[in-house]
A and B are shown apart, each in its own frame.
Chain A
Amino acid sequence: MDEELIGFFREPCSQCSVVNWGVTEEGGYYCKSCHNVIERTVEVTDPSCVTGSRVSAISHGAKKPAKQKHGKDWMVCEGFQFILKQQAEALLAMGVRPELKDDILCNFWRGYLHKSQQAYTTKPLYSVTSQQESDSCPESLAASELSCLSKAETESDMDGARSTISGWSSDGGRLSSVCTEALDSSLYCSARERRMHHLMTMPMTLAFLHLSLLWLQEAITLADLLRFTAEGHIPYINAYQNFPEDMKLFGRDALIFRVESLPSYKMVQEEAHNLAIFLDLPRFPPLTSACLLHPSLLCLRYLMELNLPDELHVWVCWVMQQAGVGKDTFLTYDPWAEKSGLLNYDILASALIVVTLKLLFKLDDQQEWCLSNSADDENKQNQDSSIFCFRKWYKTVQGALVVAKEAEEQAMARKSWKSQKPVYPSMRNKSVVIKRRRVVEQLQAQFQKLTGSDPQPRQDSPSSFRLRWGEEDGGGPSYQGRRLGSAVKKRKGSARPSNPTYWHTALSSCKPRHCTDHFLEMEDSLPRSYVSVLGMVSFLLGVQETHVHAEVCLLERLLFKRPCQPRTKTSHGSRRKK
C-alpha cells in the first residue's frame, strides 16, 4: 500500500532533495534517505527556493492514486523505426522529395527487418514464447510496420502515429512493473549478437538516411548530413526523448539509444556500405552530370563556398575529365562491384578543387606567391582588381575560417547532450538520476536568472553554405567574378596554366589494410600553403585533413596513370605537366 501512496507523492525532500518517500505507521511521509519526517503536505515547487514553502494540507481522500502508469511492451526496432521516421520527416522539411520517406527509406527498412529476421518472417529473431499469440505477433508487427512509414502523412496527428508505431498487440495483464525495457533489448547488449544479426545502432540510422539520399540523388552529401545532425536539424542526440508515451525507456535501452558523440564520416560511410551489402541492394540509379551529386556541380558549390573564381570551374572539369572521374560508370554506386566502397562525392569534389589549385598555382610555397605578385602588378596597371590574387584570397578565407572555427568551438562548448527525460539504469538508481536531473535544472535556472540569458538559444535554419562572401555580414569580399589573369596562358589557341610543373607525393598505393594514410607523418614536409588549403576544405566538410589528402592522392594516381617506380614516401616527385 505504501507503493501506491508514494507513487503519487513525488516531491523532493526538503532536507536532501531526494524523492524516496516512505510512509510511517501514523500515515505520515518520511524521507527514506535522510529520515526527515514531514507532515502530509503539498509543497509548491519553487525553483528559486530549495526548501519551498508549504501551502496547504491535502486531505487523505484525495491521495488515492490513479491507476499505475506503465508503458506497453515494445521492440527495439520499433524505437529505431520511430527515430528513422522523425529523421526522414526532418529531411522532408528541408525540402527533400517525399519519395525519400515513403518509398525508399521505407523499403530499405522493410528489407532490413526481413533480412535481419526481425519482422516479415516466420522465424523471428526474438519470439515471446510465453505468449500464445507468438506466431501471430510478427504478422501484427509487420502490418503495423507497413502502415507506419507509408501512411504517416495521412496520420499527421501524434496519436494516430502512436497507435501504429507501438502496434505490438499485447494485453496489459502481463505488465506488472512500472518501468519495462524493450522486450528484446538484451539481444542488443552483446556485441556478438549485434554483429551476427546486424542489429541496429544509432549510427546506422544515419547510414540508412545516407543510402536513401544517395538513391534519390539528393543534393545532401554525407558531410551535409552529418553537419545537419550536429546542428540538431536532424534528430539524433536524445532522439528517444520524443518517443510516444507508452514507449518507456529503461535500463539497457539506455545503452542502445543514448548517444554521447556523433559518428565520424568514415564510420557512417562504412556502415552504409555494409548495410547496402546486407540488404543486397542492386546497382544504384546512374549518376549523370545532371545530378546535384555529380562532381562538376558539387565543385561549383564548393568553389562558391571557398570564394574561388568561377573561371576555375573550367579547369576543374578538365581535371575531372583527365582523371576519368566524371563518368557515370565511375560515379554510380554498386555495392557488389569489385573493390568498391561508397564513393565520397563531397570529398572527391573538394579534392578536385585542390588538384586544380595545385595545377594552376602549384602550392609549393613559392610559385603561388610569385603569381600573386604578378596578379597585383596587373591589377595596378589596369587600375582595378579584376584579377584573382592568391595572396588576397588566402588572407580573406583564412581569416574567415579562424573566426568560423572559433565560433564552432564555442558552439561545441555550449552544446547540450543530456536528455530532459533521463533513462534510469535500474530501479534502484531512479531516485538518484531524477535528483541529479532536478539539481541540474535548478542550477541552470538559477544561473539563467543571474545572467538574464535566454534558456533556449536561437537556432539557425539549415543551410548548405557555412561561409558567406560579398555580403554585409559575410566573411569578406567575394572573388567569384575575378579572372585568372596571368595564371593562364594562351598558347596555340588553347589555354594552359602558366605554372609549368606539378608536384605530388608518392603515387604508389599502399597496401589497403597495412597502412592507411601517411598524412600525419609527412605533414611537416608538405608545403604550408597546400596544408592550409587542405585545412580550409576539411573544415568546410567537417572531415579530417588526412581524408582530403588521401582523396587528392587518389586523384593524382588516376591522373598520372602510368606504372611508376616506387618512391620514398616523403620526397616530392616533380614532373612536367602532360
Chain B
Amino acid sequence: MYATCVTLKFTRRCGEAARIADRFNRTVRPSPALGGMITNGCMLKSFKVTEEKGNPLPPQREKKPKTSPCVLRCGTAYGNLLAMDDISAEWMTSPVRDCGSDNDVSNDDDDEDDEEEEPIRKRSKWPDLPIPAPWYGETSKETGFHRSSRLCLNQIRECLLEHRWQEAAEYLISYFQTLEEISTPRQLLATEIIFRLGSEILHQHPNSKLEDVNHFFDLMKNTGVRGYLKISLEHSFHLLLTGNFDDAVRQLTTAESWRYGKQSAVQADKMKLIHAYRGFLSYLSWISKKGSSSEDDDGDVSAIQEMHTYFRQACISLQEILKLPGVWDPFVVGYVNMLEFYNDHEGALNVLKEYAYDSRFPPNPNAHVYLYRFLKRQGSTEKKQIRVLKILGALVPSHELMLELFSLLLESGTEQSLKEALDVLFNLLDDCSWKHSVAAWTCFRNMIKLLRRKKLKHLLEEGWETRKDWWPAFHFRTYHARADFQLSRQLLLMKVVVASTLVGNKCMYCRRKNELENEREARRMIKTHKKRKR
C-alpha cells in the first residue's frame, strides 16, 4: 500500500512517472512497485548465501520465491503493518538468521566480536534455510516480563487495527523496554518490531511532525546497526511519501557511504538495494528534467548536460541491480525508458529479454508484459508478439492482455491459430474475474460465429469437453441470467448465444433470458400505452 502511495507521489512530480505508475497498476501483481522490490532484496540475499556457502539450493527453491518465509518477512513495514493480521507470521520469521546466531549482548557494536563469531556461525546449528524462528507465544514458563510484552504487543495491534493511534503510542511507550531484552534473538526481534510499529504510529499520529519521524529513524538506526541500511531505506521511503524528494536522495546518499566495520559487509545485499534506489531516484530526476527541458525547447546546454549526468548515474546503478536475479519491475521500466529515449533500442530489447527469459530470475509475468509492450511500440512482427504473449498466457491465463493475444491469433486466421485462440478464451473465462466481462463474452460470440462460418464447430467440442461438467453451474444458471441482465443487457445477449451453442437452446440460462426479455417487452408496451393515453 505504501509502495503505491510512493508511486502516486511520484506522479505529482512528473508526468512520465504517472504513465509508469499507471502501467504498474494495469499489470497483474497488486503492488509490484517499491514494496515488491524490497521483497526481492531478501531473495537476492538467499542467492548470495547459496554462492558463498557453495551449497546450492535445488533450483525449484529458487523458482518459488513467494513461498519463502524470508520474502514474507521483508515486506515493507508499512505494507505489513496495515495488514496486521500477518503479524504472527512476522513473528514466526524473525530476523534472527540474518544476524548470525550469537548469544552475546555485546557484539552489536564491536568489530572484533564479529571476527570471533565467524567460525561459530559456520558451526551453528541453524542451517541456512528459511526456517521460521522460534515462536514466542504463551508458555507455562513465560516470565512476567515476556508476558507483559506479549500483552502489550497484542494491545498495540488492536489499537492499530482500529486506528486508535494515540492509545497505540501510549502502549508503545511501555513496549520500548523490550529493547533492553537480555537474549539477543529476542532483542533483535524487539528492535524490528519497535521500528515497524513506531514508524507506522508516527506516520499516522495526528500530532507527529517530520522532525519526530526523523528523530525516531535516527535513533532506530543507531540502536541496531545491523538494520542500519534497511532502516535508512525505509526512512527514505517515508521522506518520499511526505514529499521530501531531496531529503530522500540525501538519505540514500548517506546510506551509500555508510561504513561500519564488518557490519557494512554483512549488509551487502541491502547496500545493493540502496544503490538501486539511489539510481531510481536519479531516474526520476532525469524524468523531471526531461519534462522541463522539452517544454522550453531551447535545448539549454547545461540542462541537457545535467540530464545526461542523471542518466549516467541511474544507468550505472540500475545496470548493476538488473544483473542480480529478482523482481525489479520499476527499475527495468525506468532503465528501458531511458534507453529508448536515447535511441538504444537494441540495448533496451536485450535488457527486457534478459529480464524475461533468464532462468535465474523468478517467473515474473510483468517481465513478459514489458517485453510485449516494447515490441508493440517498436512495431515488430505479430509472430514475435504472439510468442511473448503465449508465454505470458502460460504464466497467467487470465491476464488482461489475453484479449489482445486472442485478436492477434484471430488475425492470422489458420485453423491452428483459431484453435489456440479458442483455448485462450476458454482459459480466460475459467477465471471468475472475467465472468461479467462484456468484451470477453463478445469475443466468444464472434468466435462462435466465425467457427460456424468456417464450418469448424468441432474445435468447440474439444474445449467444452473438460468444462461441460462445471461451466453450466459456473456461468449458466438462472440466477446468473438475472444478475447479468441487471449488469448489462448486452452481456446477457452475448452469453445467451454462447450458452445455446454450448449447452443447448433449452438450458436454464436461455429460458430465463426469454422470460426476462418478455418481461422487458411487456414493460415497454405498458409504457408506450400510457404515453399514448396521455
Interface residues of A (CB under 8 A from B): 16-18, 20, 33-34, 48-50, 260-262, 409-410, 412-418, 422, 425-426, 428-429, 431-433, 435-437, 439-440, 442-444, 446-448, 450-453
Q: Contact flags (1/0) for B223-263 with A, using CB distance below 8 Å?
A: 10100000000000000000000000000000000001000
Q: Contact flags (1/0) for B163-195 with A, using CB distance below 8 Å?
A: 000100111111011011000000000000010
Indicate if the CB atoms of B176 and A440 lie closer than 8 Å: yes
Q: Please give me the 3 A-B residue pairs with the lowest Cβ-Cβ distance, nearest first.
A: A261-B144, A261-B143, A413-B151
Contacts of B269 in A (CB 8 A): none
**Cβ-neighbour of A439 out of B109, B166, B207, B223 (below 8 A):** B223
Q: Known contacts being A260-B146, A440-B180, is A414 close to B223, with CB within 8 Å?
A: no
- Report B139-166 residues with CB < 8 Å from chain A CB: 142-148, 151-152, 154-155, 166
- In the bound complex, CA of A415 to CA of B173 (Å): 10
Contacts of B222 in A (CB 8 A): 16-17, 50, 435, 439
Say if the beta carbon of B430 comes within 8 Å of chain A.
no
Q: In the complex, what's the smallest C-beta–C-beta distance from A435 to chain B, in angstroms? A: 8
The stretch from B26-34, B211-219, B449-457 touching chain A is: B211-219
Sample of 18 more A-B contacts, CB < 8 Å, known A261-B143, A435-B223 = A50-B222, A260-B143, A261-B145, A415-B144, A417-B177, A418-B177, A431-B109, A436-B180, A439-B222, A440-B177, A440-B180, A443-B179, A443-B198, A443-B216, A444-B176, A447-B169, A447-B173, A451-B207
- In the bound complex, CA of A128 to CA of B222 (Å): 44
**Cβ-neighbour of B144 out of A50, A417, A418, A444 (below 8 A):** A417
Q: How many residues on B have C-beta within 8 angstroms of the other chain's C-beta atoms?
A: 42
Contacts of B45 in A (CB 8 A): none
Say if the beta carbon of B106 comes within 8 Å of chain A.
yes
Indicate if the CB atoms of B198 and A410 lie closer than 8 Å: no
Q: In the complex, what's the smallest C-beta–C-beta distance from A236 to chain B, in angstroms? A: 11
- In the bound complex, CA of A395 to CA of B305 (Å): 80
Q: In the complex, what's the smallest C-beta–C-beta distance from B103 to chain A, in angstroms? A: 12
Say if the beta carbon of B487 comes within 8 Å of chain A.
no
B260, closest chain A residue (CB): A34
- In the bound complex, CA of A428 to CA of B225 (Å): 18
A447, closest chain B residue (CB): B173
Q: In the complex, what's the smallest C-beta–C-beta distance from B232 to chain A, in angstroms? A: 14
Indicate if the CB atoms of B174 and A414 lie closer than 8 Å: yes
**Cβ-neighbour of A417 out of B109, B145, B173, B223 (below 8 A):** B145
Q: Known contacts being A16-B222, A429-B105, A453-B173, is A50 close to B148, with CB within 8 Å?
A: no
Say if the beta carbon of B108 comes within 8 Å of chain A.
yes
- In the bound complex, CA of A88 to CA of B48 (Å): 61
Q: In the complex, what's the smallest C-beta–C-beta distance from B181 to chain A, in angstroms? A: 9
- In the bound complex, CA of A422 to CA of B105 (Å): 13
Contacts of A16 in B (CB 8 A): 109, 222, 225
Q: In the complex, what's the smallest C-beta–C-beta distance from B430 to chain A, in angstroms? A: 47
Highest count of chain B CB atoms <10 Å: which of A409, A425, A426, A440: A440
Interface residues of B (CB under 8 A from A): 105-106, 108-110, 142-148, 151-152, 154-155, 166, 169-174, 176-177, 179-180, 194, 198, 202, 205, 207-208, 212, 215-216, 218-219, 222-223, 225, 260
- In the bound complex, CA of A461 to CA of B117 (Å): 51
Contacts of A415 in B (CB 8 A): 144, 148, 174
Q: In the complex, what's the smallest C-beta–C-beta distance from B161 to chain A, in angstroms? A: 16
A18, closest chain B residue (CB): B109
Contacts of A429 in B (CB 8 A): 105-106
Contacts of A34 in B (CB 8 A): 260
Indicate if the CB atoms of B173 and A448 lie closer than 8 Å: yes
**Cβ-neighbour of A413 out of B146, B148, B180, B215 (below 8 A):** B148
Q: Known contacts being A432-B105, A432-B109, A443-B198, is A413 close to B174, with CB within 8 Å?
A: yes
Q: Known contacts being A262-B144, A417-B177, is A428 close to B106, with CB within 8 Å?
A: yes
Q: In the complex, what's the smallest C-beta–C-beta distance from B110 to chain A, in angstroms? A: 8
Contacts of A431 in B (CB 8 A): 109
Q: In the complex, what's the smallest C-beta–C-beta distance from B229 to chain A, in angstroms? A: 15
- In the bound complex, CA of A413 to CA of B147 (Å): 8
- In the bound complex, CA of A433 to CA of B184 (Å): 12
- In the bound complex, CA of A466 to CA of B198 (Å): 35
Q: Known contacts being A432-B108, A439-B223, is A447 close to B172, with CB within 8 Å?
A: yes
- In the bound complex, CA of A48 to CA of B205 (Å): 18
- In the bound complex, CA of A426 to CA of B107 (Å): 12
Q: In the complex, what's the smallest C-beta–C-beta distance from A48 to chain B, in angstroms? A: 7
Contacts of B207 in A (CB 8 A): 450-452
Q: Known contacts being A50-B218, A436-B179, is A412 close to B205, with CB within 8 Å?
A: no
A51, closest chain B residue (CB): B218
B214, closest chain A residue (CB): A50
Indicate if the CB atoms of B212 and A416 lie closer than 8 Å: no
Indicate if the CB atoms of A418 and B155 lie closer than 8 Å: no
Indicate if the CB atoms of A450 and B212 lie closer than 8 Å: yes
Q: In the complex, what's the smallest C-beta–C-beta distance from A445 to chain B, in angstroms? A: 9
Indicate if the CB atoms of B176 and A260 lie closer than 8 Å: no
19 contacts between A and B (CB under 8 A): A16-B225, A50-B222, A260-B144, A413-B154, A414-B148, A415-B148, A417-B148, A418-B177, A429-B106, A432-B108, A432-B109, A435-B109, A435-B223, A436-B223, A443-B198, A443-B216, A446-B216, A447-B176, A450-B205
- In the bound complex, CA of A34 to CA of B263 (Å): 11
Q: Known contacts being A48-B215, A446-B212, A451-B169, is A414 close to B152, with CB within 8 Å?
A: yes
**Cβ-neighbour of B171 out of A414, A418, A422, A435 (below 8 A):** A414
Indicate if the CB atoms of B219 and A437 lie closer than 8 Å: no
Q: Known contacts being A261-B145, A450-B207, is A50 close to B106, with CB within 8 Å?
A: no
Contacts of A436 in B (CB 8 A): 179-180, 223
Indicate if the CB atoms of B215 and A446 lie closer than 8 Å: yes
Q: In the complex, what's the smallest C-beta–C-beta distance from A85 to chain B, in angstroms? A: 24
- In the bound complex, CA of A426 to CA of B194 (Å): 26
Q: In the complex, what's the smallest C-beta–C-beta distance from B228 to chain A, in angstroms? A: 10
**Cβ-neighbour of A418 out of B143, B170, B173, B180 (below 8 A):** B180
A439, closest chain B residue (CB): B223
